[in-house]
Amino acid sequence: MSFDRLIKRIIELKNPTVVGLDPKLDYVPEFIRRRYLDNDGWTLKAAAKAIFDFNQAIIDQIHDVVPAIKPQAAYYEMYGHYGMRTLEKTIRYARLNGMFVITDGKRNDIGATMEAYANAHLGAVTIGDSQLEPFGADALTVNGYLGTDGIKPLVDICRERDKGIFVLVKTSNPSSGELQDRLLDDGTPIYAAMGDMCEKWGADTIGEYGYSAVGAVVGATYPRQLSELRERLPHTMFLVPGYGAQGGGAEGLVGGFDKNGLGAIVNSSRAVMCAYKKEGCDERDFAGAARREVLRMRDDITQRLR
Amino acid sequence: MSFDRLIKRIIELKNPTVVGLDPKLDYVPEFIRRRYLDNDGWTLKAAAKAIFDFNQAIIDQIHDVVPAIKPQAAYYEMYGHYGMRTLEKTIRYARLNGMFVITDGKRNDIGATMEAYANAHLGAVTIGDSQLEPFGADALTVNGYLGTDGIKPLVDICRERDKGIFVLVKTSNPSSGELQDRLLDDGTPIYAAMGDMCEKWGADTIGEYGYSAVGAVVGATYPRQLSELRERLPHTMFLVPGYGAQGGGAEGLVGGFDKNGLGAIVNSSRAVMCAYKKEGCDERDFAGAARREVLRMRDDITQRLR
C-alpha cells in the first residue's frame, strides 16, 4: 500500500541502500561460467544458469546487511526466456531471504496493457481457478510519459497487494537533461512536472512514514535536482541510481534524504558485483568481496546522514 | 539501416497495416485453451502454449495479406518465462513466413543498459564463440524520456543489422496529453519536441523511400497531431495504434500518410484477434475471421489513400 515494508527494513538494518543485480556474463567469475559453459556449450541457457548461481551467492552474502535488490530486466532479457527464468528465480530467492525486490523494468504503456505489466511483475494472473504470480517482485520502475492511465493500474495493484512503483523523474545518465530539464511554459522543468504527478498519483497511498506507494527515480549524478526534488515532493520515496560506478559521490546524496535520514534508497550495481575484480582477490571470493563492498557503501552513506 | 524492408513489403502487398498480437488468454478460443489446460492444468506454461497455437494459426492466415505483426511484450511477460518463450517462437514463426516483426516493448534505460535491450530484442549476444539472437525482431518500440544516450545503442544496431525503432511521440491513450501536450517555454508541445529528436536521431539512416530507421508512435486517436507531425517530421515513419477498438477511424488516419501513400503503418490488435467473436462464427474459424478482418481493414484504409 506504501513503501512502509521497505522503509521498516531500511530502519532495521540501518542501511538505505539497494544492490543492483545487472549481471553481464563477464561480471561472472570464470569458475562459475565454466561450470555451465564447458558442459552445456555456449548457449543462452548455460549463461542464464551461470548468472543465477552468481546472483544466489551474492544474495547469500548480503541479505542480512542490505534491505533490497534491484534486478535490471534488460540483463535478463539478453538471455531470452532462459534469462527471464533466472529473473524469476532470483526474485524468489531474494524474497525467501527476506529481501525487498525492485524489478528495474522502466515499463510503460496504455492502460489495458499496463494492467498486463502490473500483473506480470507485481500481481497475479488468473488462469481458470489458479492465481499465479509470474515474477512477483515488490516494486517496479516505470516511465510516466503516457500519463495517468498508464500508472493507475499499477497504483491499484500497489494498494491491493502492498507493492510500490518508482517513476522515472530525473534519470542519472548524461543526456537526461535533453528532455527532462527543458522548461514548460510556466517555468517548471519537465522533471519537476513529472515529480508533481508522482505526488498526485500516490496521494491516497501514504503510509506511516509519510511516503506513498509511488516513488521516483532521481539520479545521484544530479545532486542539485535531488535536493530540490526532496523539498518539492515530500511524500515521494526516491530510488537513487548513479552512486559509485556512474560517478555520483556520497556527499551529493545527502540532499535526497529527509531530516530523519529516510526517503531515499541508493543503488549500487557494478561496484558490488565486480568488487572482487577491484579488490584483486581470488575470484572464488567474489561474494565475500561483494559483502565487503556493501558494508563499505553502507558506512560511506550513513556516516553522512548523521 | 532504415525502414526500407518494411516499406517494400507494404508496397508489394498494397497494405500499410500491422496486426498487433496481444493475446490475452480469453481471446483464445476455448478449443485451443482446452487442448493444454485440460492436460497440463491451469499453469502459466499451458497458457503460453495455447497462445502460441493461437498466434501461429493467425499468422498462417494473414502473412500473405499483412506485411507485419506487432507482438506486445506485456501480454507475454504476463505468463512469465513461458510467455517469453512464446514471444520468441512467435517472432521466429512470423519471420519464417516473410513477415516484419515489431516488438512492442516501449523499452528505455541509460546507455549501457539500453545496449542490453538492443541486443536482446534486435541484435545478438556474444557467449564465448557463439553469437546468439535472443528474440530477433526487426523493430522495437522505445521511450525517449532519457534522451540521446538511451537511443544511440539502438541506432547503432539498426545500422549494423538493418533494423528499426519506433519512439513514443504522441500516444493513443486518453491521458497522453497530460505530459505530451504540455507546451515548452518556446511554445513547442512536448510531443513535437520528441518528434524533432526522432528526426535528429535518424538523420544518418535515411533510406531510399526517404524514411530513416527511427520511426515514431503517433496515435490514430489524435488525428490533428497526426497530420501536424506528418508535416513536421518528413523522414520519420509512423507506427499508428488506436485504429478500431481504441476508437480511431480510418478518415483520421489519412493525415499520417505522405503524398505517395507511404510513411505510416496502422495497427489493429483486438479487432483482428477477436474477429470471430464479433462475427459470431464458429470459434474454430477464428483465424479465418482474422483474415476477413485484415482484408476489411486493408480496404477501409487504402481506399481513402487514393
Q: What is the pLDDT of residues A102-117, one digit of tens each?
A: 999 999 999 999 999 9
Q: What is the pLDDT of residues A56-68, one digit of tens each?
A: 999 999 999 999 9
The residue of chain B with its CA nearest to that of A34 is B128
Cβ within 8 Å, pair A178-B113: no
Confidence band (pLDDT; 50, 70, 90) for A245? Answer: low
Residues in a beta bridge with A70: A20
Q: Does any CB of chain B come closer than 8 Å to the CB of residue A39? A: no
Closest to B62 in 3D by CA, of B281, B275, B303, B304: B275
- Whether residue B101 is predicted with pLDDT greater than 70 in this model: the reply is yes
Average pLDDT over residues A123-138: 95
- A106 in catalytic set: yes
DSSP H helices, B143-269, are: 152-161, 177-180, 190-202, 223-232, 250-253
Among A178, A184, A197, which would you mutate to test the B interface (most chain B Cβ atoms within 10 Å of its Cβ)?
Answer: A178
Residues in a beta bridge with B18: B68, B267
Q: From CA A104, how far away is CA A241, in angstroms rounded?
A: 11
Sort out which chain B residues have CB atoms less than 8 A from A142's CB and list them: none
- Whether residue A306 is predicted with pLDDT greater than 80 in this model: the reply is no
Option in A41, A147, A180 nearest B176 (CB):
A147
Q: From CA B234, how far away is CA B225, in angstroms rounded?
A: 14
DSSP secondary structure of A274-304: THHHHHT--GGGHHHHHHHHHHHHHHHHHTT
Q: From CA B134, how far away is CA A67, in angstroms rounded?
A: 32
Q: Which residue has the cell 511524500?
A: A235
Q: Are A120 and B74 in contact (CB under 8 A)?
A: yes
Higher pLDDT, B39 or A10: A10
The alpha-carbon gap from A72 to the nearest alpha carbon of chain B, in Å, equals 8
Q: What is the dihedral of CA A22, B145, A101, B86, to 10 degrees?
A: -70
List CB contacts of B296: < 8 A, sequence separation 6 or more: none
Q: Are strands B130-132 and B125-127 parallel, antiparallel or unpaired?
A: antiparallel
DSSP H helices, chain B, are: 4-13, 30-40, 44-62, 74-77, 80-96, 111-121, 152-161, 177-180, 190-202, 223-232, 250-253, 270-273, 275-279, 286-305
Q: Does any CB of chain B come closer than 8 Å to the CB of residue A247? A: no
Q: From CA A9, how far away is CA B151, in angstroms rounded?
A: 36
Looking at residue B244, what is its pLDDT?
77
Average pLDDT over residues A284-295: 98
Q: From CA A245, how far away is CA A253, in angstroms rounded?
A: 14
The residue of chain A with its CA nearest to that of B84 is A81
Closest to B87 in 3D by CA, of B14, B13, B23, B32: B23
Closest to B103 in 3D by CA, of B118, B125, B113: B118
Cβ within 8 Å, pair A178-B168: no
- Whether residue B246 is predicted with pLDDT greater than 80 in this model: the reply is no
List CB contacts of B135: < 8 A, sequence separation 6 or more: A77, A80, B87, B88, B91, B103, B120, B121
Q: Which of A110-119, A248-257, B243-252 has the highest mean pLDDT?
A: A110-119
Cβ within 8 Å, pair B173-A120: no
Cβ within 8 Å, pair A127-B43: yes
Q: Does any CB of chain B come closer than 8 Å to the CB of residue A40? A: no
Q: Does any CB of chain A come closer than 8 Å to the CB of residue B129? A: yes
Q: How far is CA B33 from CA A86, A210, B13, B280, B282, in A?
A: 27, 46, 32, 18, 15
Cβ within 8 Å, pair B120-A183: no
Is the C-alpha dihedral spanning B49, B53, B56, B62 positive or negative? negative
Taken in order of first residue, the domains within chain B and their CATH numbers are: 4-300 (3.20.20.70)
Cβ within 8 Å, pair A80-B135: yes
Cβ within 8 Å, pair B135-A175: no
Q: How far is CA A187 from the centre of its chain?
A: 31
The residue of chain B with its CA nearest to that of A194 is B179
Closest to B47 in 3D by CA, of A76, A124, A153: A124
The residue of chain A with its CA nearest to that of B144 is A179
DSSP secondary structure of chain A: --SHHHHHHHHHHT--EEEEE---GGGS-HHHHHHHHHHH-S-HHHHHHHHHHHHHHHHHHHTTT-SEEEEBTHHHHTTHHHHHHHHHHHHHHHHHTT-EEEEEEEE---HHHHHHHHHHHTS-EEETTEEE-SS--SEEEE--TT-GGGTHHHHHHHHHHT-EEEEEEE-SSGGGHHHHTPBBTTS-BHHHHHHHHHHHHHGGG--TTS--SEEEEE-TT-HHHHHHHHHH-TT--EEE--BSTTSB-HHHHGGGS-TTS-SEEEEE-HHHHTHHHHHT--GGGHHHHHHHHHHHHHHHHHTTT-
Confidence band (pLDDT; 50, 70, 90) for B39? Answer: confident
The residue of chain B with its CA nearest to that of A108 is B106
- Whether residue B263 is predicted with pLDDT greater than 90 in this model: the reply is yes
Looking at residue B83, what is its pLDDT?
98
Report B:214-243 residues touching A (Cβ under 8 A). none
Q: What is the dihedral of CA B225, B230, B232, B236, to 10 degrees?
A: 120
Option in A82, A134, A145 nearest B168 (CB):
A145
Measured from the Cβ of residue B282, the count of other Cβ atoms closer than 10 Å reads 12
How much is the mean pLDDT over chain A? Answer: 96
Residue B126: phi and psi, rounded to 5, are -95, 125
Looking at residue A1, what is its pLDDT?
66
Q: Which of A45, A89, A106, A277 is catalytic?
A: A106
Helix (H, G, I), strand (E, B) or coil at B218: strand
Average pLDDT over residues B165-182: 98
- Whether residue B234 is predicted with pLDDT greater than 90 in this model: the reply is yes
Q: Are strands A164-170 and A139-142 parallel, antiparallel or unpaired?
A: parallel
- Whether residue B68 is predicted with pLDDT greater than 70 in this model: the reply is yes
Q: What is the pLDDT of residues A22-52, one digit of tens each?
A: 999 999 999 999 999 888 889 999 999 999 9
Looking at residue A251, what is its pLDDT?
85
Q: What is the pLDDT of residues A74-87, one digit of tens each?
A: 999 999 999 999 99
The alpha-carbon gap from A12 to the nearest alpha carbon of chain B, in Å, equals 31
- Whether residue A197 is predicted with pLDDT greater than 70 in this model: the reply is yes
Looking at residue B117, what is its pLDDT?
98
Least confident piece of the model among A140-144, A241-245, B75-79, B275-279 = A241-245
Q: Does any CB of chain A come closer than 8 Å to the CB of residue B173? A: yes
Looking at residue B245, what is its pLDDT?
66
Looking at residue B194, what is its pLDDT?
98
Task: Report if pTM > 0.95.
Answer: yes
Q: How far is CA B32 from the centre of its chain?
A: 25
Confidence band (pLDDT; 50, 70, 90) for B1? Answer: low
Cβ within 8 Å, pair A74-B42: no
Q: Which residue has the cell 487514393?
A: B306
- Whether residue B92 is predicted with pLDDT greater than 70 in this model: the reply is yes
Confidence band (pLDDT; 50, 70, 90) for B155? Answer: very high
Closest to B108 in 3D by CA, of A49, A248, A180: A180
Option in B110, B127, B173 nearest A25 (CB):
B127
Residue A141: phi and psi, rounded to 5, are -85, 145
